Amino acid sequence: MGKKKVVVFGLGRVYRTFLDVYDRSKMDIIALSDNNRSLFEMGIEDCENLVKPEEINKLDFDYIIVTCSFYDEIKKQLEGYGIHRECILNFYAVWENLLVQDNYQNHDELLELLKENVPMAVHYEYEFYKLRMLQEKNLFLSAKNFINSTKNQKINTLEEVEFQVYSQFGEDGIIQWLIHNVEIDKKTFVEFGVDDYSEANTKFLLMNNNWSGLVMDGNVESVDRLKKWNRRWLYDLTAIAAFITKDNINTLISQAGYIGDIGILSIDLDGNDYWILKAIDCVSPRILICEYNNAYGMEEMVSVPYDAEFMRTKKHYSNLYWGASIAAFCDWAEKNGYYYMGSNSAGNNAFFVRKDCIKKEMVPAGAKVFVESKYRESIDEKGQFTYLGGIDRLKCMEEMELVNLKTNCVDTIKNIYNI
């Protein structure tokens, strides 16, 4: 097995410690990176390959090791550049935990302890497994402390209770606050559009609260990776590979044993989301999570026309043409007896609660405030990021068609939004 290729992010004192403990026979540091732009002007001693954060994804690497204290911010930053979260590891947390927990003042003793706890310096066959486990334990401990401090609070917006362990943004924290304030009999969930479940809305719920669940994705290889997850045996999780349509969704859910009242339904299909939601009648979720297309704004009730073979990446080069607006989901929710609880701070996931399961006064006062998304995911015809925001997102796909759900008529984005 060859050496692992690693990029080290963060070039302060913990970076120097990392250099002392990693095993050079097991991995190569192929590049260094940092958010301090002045370093690129001054250069780093003994380093010819200093890369800017936005250029890391051009490299052929196995892992990025973060050696500074802003791990969460850096992880989000790197994910925004298209880097998978499983590749981003937190060395700083290991260093800090051992230093603080055991109060090691002697530098040599600390280095020896780090060598014993950092897998790249010991058992190569684990390939960073120990480091990920330490990182995960730190996250779970921090999350539990935050949950206990916020679970009984009356909040103004869902952003106040956000935190991220396995969710894409702050959904893990929002879900924890909701399950402590919503009457839930069956601790069950259904989530689809999960890829390999390394990043999902319900994974922390599964592991932290021991809920039972069904997850589905259309990518067979991704679901196969999930089925090989070495800790899957610990949990009651059913995983199905299926391309979801409005004609098969009820069969898929009910045949997996989920019928009637359930705790959570989470929809993230990047396509026919609205039409699939409308078609579901085999379950009645107490909490509903729907990914919406922020580019469509807050006023228009629109969705892409239903297409049983809809593929976001094939419909339009920009990767922005998919799904439905927040107004479309809110209209469905009102007609079906749900409160709109608000959006996450990223502006892409809407949360709803069945009205018979929560007191009205627990609905956040600022729930209906539209959250403009900060993330920029547009690409050009060559597949390069263009980072479009605001109305520019609509302009690049102005000839594409949407269904006006008020009139049930199809029109171009250009006409609907008067571009």
Q: What is the pLDDT of residues 209-250, one digit of tens each?
A: 999 999 999 999 989 989 999 889 999 999 999 999 999 999
Residue with tokens 């699939």: 276
Question: CATH topology of 4-135 equal to that of 151-416?
Answer: yes
Q: Select the more confidently predicted residue: 145 or 27.
A: 145
Strands 409-412 and 401-404: antiparallel
**What are the tens digits of pLDDT across the range 341-398?**
999 999 999 999 999 999 999 999 999 999 999 888 899 998 888 989 999 999 999 9
Residue range 52-92, pLDDT digits in tens = 999 999 999 999 999 887 888 898 899 989 999 888 988 88
Q: What element of type H or E holds 214?
A: strand 212-217
* Helical ranges in 151-202 per DSSP H: 171-179
- pLDDT cut 90: percent of the chain above it: 63
* DSSP track, 45-59: TTBS-B--GGGGGGS
Cβ(276)–Cβ(267) below 8 Å: yes
Looking at the predicted structure, is the pLDDT value of residue 107 above 50? no
Instruction: Look up residue 364 and give its amino acid.
Output: P
Structure tokens, 414: 């250009």
Residue that wins the pLDDT comparison between 125 and 247: 247
Rounded Cα gap, residues 36 and 16, in angstroms: 16
Q: Tell me the mean pLDDT in the region 172-189.
A: 97
Strands 401-404 and 260-267: unpaired
For residue 93, what pLDDT is reported? 74
Domain 4-135 has CATH 3.40.50.720: yes
Rounded Cα distance, 87 and 63, in Å: 5
Joined together, the tokens standing for residue 23 give 């095993």
User: Looking at residue 290, what is its pLDDT?
Assistant: 98
3-state helix, strand, coil in the chain (%, to 5): 40, 20, 40
Record the tokens describing residue 10, joined without a space.
Answer: 């963060």
Whether domain 151-416 has CATH 3.60.70.12: no
Other beta carbons within 10 angstroms of residue 60's beta carbon come to 6
Residues 273-330: pLDDT tens digits? Answer: 999 999 999 999 999 999 999 999 999 999 999 999 999 989 999 999 999 999 999 9
What are the residues whose beta carbons fall under 8 Å from the beta carbon of 95, sequence distance 6 or more? 14, 17, 18, 67, 114
Q: Which of 337, 339, 338, 267 is nearest to 303 (CA)?
A: 267
Enter the tokens of residue 264: 């959570």
- Burial class of residue 343 in the structure, from the number of CB atoms within 10 Å of its CB (0-12 exposed, 13-18 middle, 19+ buried): buried
Closest-CA residue to 167 (of 131, 203, 140, 137): 203
| Six token digits for residue 78 | 């790197």
The residue ranges of every structural domain in the chain are 4-135, 151-416
User: What percentage of residues in the chain have a pLDDT greater than 70?
Assistant: 88
CA atoms of 341 and 161, how far apart (whole Å): 13
Q: Which pair of tokens denotes residue 56?
A: 């890391």
Q: What is the pLDDT of residues 10-48, one digit of tens each?
A: 988 788 878 877 777 778 899 999 988 777 666 555 556
C-beta of residue 144 within 8 angstroms of C-beta of residue 176: no
Model confidence at 96, pLDDT cuts 50, 70, 90, reads low
Helix axes 91-102 and 13-21, enclosed angle (nearest 10)? 90
* DSSP secondary structure code for residue 147 in this structure: H
In this predicted structure, which of 115-129, 149-163, 188-202, 380-394 has the lowest mean pLDDT? 115-129
